[in-house]
Structure 1
């Protein structure tokens, strides 16, 4: 029997805990250490870096981590696979070789190319973006590891590919090993966001001792030859691994039950979870299907410039003050921006015993193609109201210049149009062929017009009910994919899960979350996980970089939904 492959994670985003690489290398045995540094917003940031200096475009913090830990990784025989190459994986690979030479560490470095489609954007019908990166699969990473690479640097591969690639190299999977590949995709999806799988951002955080969650360790997966795995963490580290933490991450930023990628479609409705001891959860039963003929492309474009001012309104006659502020400020603007968005944060308690409790924040955001329209003249107009405005006038920050913002969009191109090249440690180049057998993903919509999905649900429950917040019976995690928000909701019993699936219809979601009124809402049941996944298209506008929403990445929408009150069967309470 081939021993399980132990793969850890040390980064969930560009800016994650710097010490995590050392913690994972020193905390216990590992075969591979991965790090996810990329997101749609990160590629925009790296694109602006590259525009200023073509030698940039990669996650520079990773170099700092390697300066501290590359020798340690080589000494312990741990191979490193990261997507920190961003828009310039060859540049980062070269910098790593230079670093290894300076440190006297015998580390071989390989990298992946082909995801950057910017030079061909017009040819492929992608317009004129700042960045255009296709999501590559895992087989190039496997080629690099088979060639002896100690470090593999990639650009925009799928997040899960960082885990799938080492598993392919270890177990010799081919394109037809769909179930095994799908199982590794699921393991990679759980690992990719670091401490979110070990107790971070957990909606039931208060059910664990405070000190246990103060510094959660990072996760690792013990992957078997059939693609099943055990999710765990190094012994003695903080945090917790249980069905809640694993379910929360499984539901994070997904759509329907078919989770598509360039190598395989993983069926999230086939996932089975089982306790496997303290801080150990076994994932098995994952079925895989043929990948789609197209792959996703992340496009970032400069959308214009933005600025904002926030007025503080306090105390007496607070209901009348917003209209006064809006009228006075808009009349004072030297030029009206293309978009002017007002939002109010807080309610201002009557008879409050603190000034903060008696106050609300009134925020005005401006977006415009011209930096001058939303520059200092915009914020300066607010300052000029200081002695001529509403009683109690003050702002949360001094005036400032505007800043550029980006717009993320997703496109799809045939996999056959995307080069996928593994550049091995000796400099030789291996072309990775796209999958030969593909099939379009056919996801069943669960919108209110879908009789198959919603017509058979019933909210009728025998027995008494009680008005209570949804959080009394459910847990949640939410996130973003561009302008789309997803909310994963799960229960701890089969009965409560069935009630969730029957109750949270698209129309009911719109009632509970009025900000979703008029937007497309899909609700996907995942019975094996005792969960449903809610997808709200357009809730986040044009994505985090351009969003004017209070919570631009939708990270807290799940917590808002859990706080909403509805009639819940007492048997589940």
Structure 2
């Protein structure tokens, strides 16, 4: 096993392309397939299914993806590692064994458990563990919401141990996304718990490939420059014994792997240059990327240090209920029309009901088509009690306005109005010492392997980067969108949104670094002007990174924004116009 291990992703979230395992089996040879199905809110949904039916709580369609490919995977000796176990990894592991028996295929299936800590919250509190909120520092006891699910983020050493014991398929719950890759790499190369640089390299590679096609051109700001974006493939990480890697893809599939598609993943959903993992702290500001060939990007110089003594615990609880519907307003006098609709539907609200009315889009002047004159109006009602929203009857209120409200009022006649309130789930990102989390491997027959907490830990604060100073340089500029010279990628980390902005043009980096100050960001994005903003620089990636604290409220599952988890903040920023040096715009039309 001296050669690099080839680890291929086949899922980036619950709902990703169903045919991904089929594509991986038909693609280039790999050693391990990894599938990530869990976002923060996904576990809460799976927990609800588990509460309703203790036999469920895992990603059931994973079995349907696996079934037609199980024999080929077994014959080739390809390992499969997935967090599709969700809230019930033991249940999915047993279901995979039953599937293998029915298909006449011999595979060894193990599962990882210990992440589900909902039953231990009271014990933790009694023992003095406050499960402080990552953003506010407040103890969980101050939340005022009854927890429904609580899952600690586990590292990759349980996966490595399961593979070392001969497991062919390893079913996990809430391990970190990157652990799905780091665990197999550590097993393959026989790393020790203190091989910090190698582990950091594997975690970085795992972070790049964890989101499926995103590393191959999906969700990429430069998508118009990517060939065959109709169906971008899934990425592969070739991880060497020293932790360096090459990010590539199956040759037969669409999309491309470039320095920029990989950069987009490196700056995605991070809190800064120190990327914390239960096994290692990754120093992302040391990373070097190099285009080594077509669809081959080298990842090197990643350094690591001991992990923090704590891990994150995702706690969810039901905050109440919500219901949302959308109607449409047509120019002229859009503002006045929206004001009237808001006033009409706000009359005599039941107690405890709050309305959030959001205008989406703007009508063009002298529209060419009716849709150029149209804006959407999203109306969301929230309440602690479901009965209050039933009494509100939001769809009835909106439908009653046809003959008594604005001229041209209508809703989408091809879609039904939502009438049933949905649970509104709040998120509490907590901290818990790794030493009190049970992390174990369960093998066939019930044999277990306890995975100890790391012996060496350390607290690595995020570096502080000074704001750029005024240069006083006089340059000929032209107003143009930031996207003319820079790419961006944004996402969510609990209640915070992050956005990384980088330039593929080496000439533009000094200007980007000096221009994108925190003050300038507040000017460009009025929505964040009152937020706490953290700014970092990644010179080797030619990137400036911001954390927008509180933009998403307390989390994507409960905030009222239309862009609920901040996926479009980066593109919104790229659409903003500002003075850009003309020499950087030589290939950009007015």
- In which range does the TM-score fall when normalised by the shorter chain? over 0.9
User: 1:159: how far off?
Assistant: 0.5
Alignment of 1:201-220 (within 5 A): 201-209=219-227, 212-220=228-236
Distance apart, 1:336 and its partner CA: 4.7
Larger deviation, residues 167-176 vs 221-230: 167-176
* Cα distance in 1 between the residues matched to 2:387 and 2:403: 25
- Structure 1 residues 571 and 460: alpha-carbon distance in aligned structure 2, compared to 1, 3 A threshold: farther
* Alignment TM-score, normalising by the size of structure 2: 0.93
Q: Does 1:504 align with 2:520?
A: no
- 1:2 corresponds in structure 2 to 2
Q: Deviations over 1:538-568 (max 9, x none)?
A: 1112322212112111111111100101111
Question: Helix, strand or coil: the match of 2:394?
Answer: helix
* Partner residue, 2:241: 225
Does the 8 Å contact 1:307/1:379 carry over to 2? no
Report the counterpart of residue 453 of structure 2 in structure 1. Answer: 434
Q: Which residue of the partner structure matches residue 371 of structure 1?
A: 386
> Residues 7, 461 of structure 1: CA spacing in aligned structure 2 closer, same or farther, 3 A cutoff?
farther
Which residue does 1:119 correspond to in 2? 119
Distance 1:313 1:190 in 2: 42
Displacement, 1:480?
A: 0.9
| Shift in Å, 1:61 | 1.3
Between stretches 123-132 and 70-79, larger displacement belongs to 123-132
Please say which of residues 323-332 and 415-424 is displaced more in the overlay: 323-332
How many residues are paired up? 563
State the match for 2:131 in structure 1. none
Return 15-24 or 388-397, whichever deviates more. Answer: 388-397
Write the distance in 2 (CA, Å) between the matches of 1:31 and 1:95. 23
The 5 A counterparts of 1:335-346 are 335-346=350-361
Tell me how far 1:215 sits from its aligned partner. 0.9
Contact 2:89 2:112 in 1 (8 A): yes
**Which whole-Å CA distance do the structure 2 matches of 1:459 and 1:567 have between them?**
15
Candidates 213, 234, 237, aligned match of 1:195: 213
- Classify the secondary structure of the residue corresponding to 2:11: coil
Matched, 1:464 2:476: yes
Task: Give how far 1:282 is off.
Answer: 0.5
SS state at 1:123 partner: helix
Checking the alignment, whether the CA contact within 8 Å between 2:353 and 2:389 is kept in structure 1 is no
Contact 2:280 2:304 in 1 (8 A): yes
Separation in structure 1 between the aligned mates of residue 66 and residue 418 of structure 2, nearest angstrom: 40
Q: What are the residue-to-residue correspondences of 1:4-153 with 2, within 5 Å?
A: 4-125=4-125, 126=140, 128-153=146-171
Of the structure 1 ranges 29-38 and 417-426, higher mean CA displacement relative to structure 2 is found in 417-426
Q: Which residue of 2 aligns with 1:355?
A: 370
SS at match of 1:372: helix
Q: CA deviation at 1:39?
A: 0.7
Query: Which residue number corresponds to residue 167 of structure 1?
Result: 185
Q: 1:564 to 1:556 in 2, by over 3 A?
A: same
| Cα distance in 1 for residues equivalent to 2:513 and 2:124 | 41
Contact 2:111 2:442 in 1 (8 A): yes
For residues 333 and 47 of structure 2, what CA distance do their matches in structure 1 show? 47
Kindly indicate whether the alpha-carbon contact (under 8 Å) linking 1:275 and 1:281 is maintained by their aligned counterparts in 2.
Answer: yes
Residue number in structure 1 paired with 2:417: 398
The more displaced of 298-307 and 370-379 is 370-379
The answer to whether the aligner puts 1:407 opposite 2:429 as a matched pair is no
Cα distance between partner residues in 2 of 1:431 and 1:285: 32
Deviation at 1:158, TM superposition (A): 0.6
User: Does the Cα contact within 8 Å between 1:337 and 1:366 map onto a contact in 2?
Assistant: no
Aligned mates of 1:18, 1:500 — CA distance in 2: 40
2:491 to 479, 482, 487: 479
For residues 124-145 of structure 1, what are the alpha-carbon distances to aligned partners after superposition, in whole Å with 9 as ceiling and x for unaligned? Answer: 2445411100000111101100
Worse-matched range after superposition: 368-377 or 190-199: 368-377
The answer (yes or no) to whether the contact 2:323–2:418 under 8 Å persists in 1 is: no
1:459 to partner: Cα distance: 5.1
The separation in 1 between residues aligned to 2:333 and 2:508, in whole angstroms, is: 45
Q: Is the 8 A contact 1:383 1:399 kept in 2?
A: no
TM-score, normalization by structure 1: 0.96
1:337-395 Cα distance to aligned partner (Å, 9 max, x none) = 44321111122234323222222222221111111222262322222222222222222
- CA shift, 1:461, in A, is 3.8
Which of these residues, 408, 422, 426, is aligned with residue 441 of structure 2?
A: 422
Unaligned runs of 5+ in 1: 447-452
Candidates 224, 228, 240, aligned match of 2:256: 240
C-alpha separation in 2, matches of 1:317 and 1:93: 59
Moved more, 542-551 or 409-418: 542-551
1:295 maps to which residue? 311
For residues 230 and 253 of structure 1, what CA distance do their matches in structure 2 show? 21
SS of aligned partner of 1:10 = strand
Tell me what 1:277 maps to: 293
- Inter-partner Cα distance in structure 1 for 2:473 and 2:7: 45
Is contact 1:293–1:414 with CA below 8 Å preserved after alignment? yes
CA change 1:235–1:399 in 2 (3 A) is: closer
In 2, distance between residues paired with 1:363 and 1:237?
Answer: 38
Say if 2:571 is the partner of 1:559.
yes
1:489 and 2:494 matched: no
**CA distance 1:549–1:3, shift in 2 (3 Å):** same
Deviates more, 1:223-232 or 1:58-67: 58-67
Answer yes or no: is the 8 Å Cα contact 2:115–2:439 preserved in 1. yes
Task: Report if the CA contact (8 A) 1:220-1:233 is conserved.
Answer: yes
Tell me the alpha carbon deviations over residues 307-350 of structure 1, each in whole angstroms, 9 at most, x when there is no partner: 123232223333311111111111154x1544321111122234
Q: Matches of 1:111 and 1:136 in 2, distance apart?
A: 13
Identify the residue that residue 128 of structure 2 maps to in structure 1.
Answer: none
Could you tell me how far apart the structure 2 residues matched to 1:173 and 1:505 are?
A: 41
Q: CA RMSD in A?
A: 1.5
Offset, 1:445:
4.4
Which moves more between the two structures, 222-231 or 373-382?
Answer: 373-382
Whether the 8 Å contact between 1:521 and 1:537 is mirrored in structure 2 is yes
Contact 1:332 1:381 in 2 (8 A): no
How many angstroms does 1:191 deviate by?
0.7
Label 1:400 to 1:20 Cα distance change in 2 as closer, same or farther (>3 A). Answer: same
C-alpha displacement at 1:571, in angstroms? 2.5
Asked if the contact 1:459/1:499 (under 8 Å) is kept, the reply is no
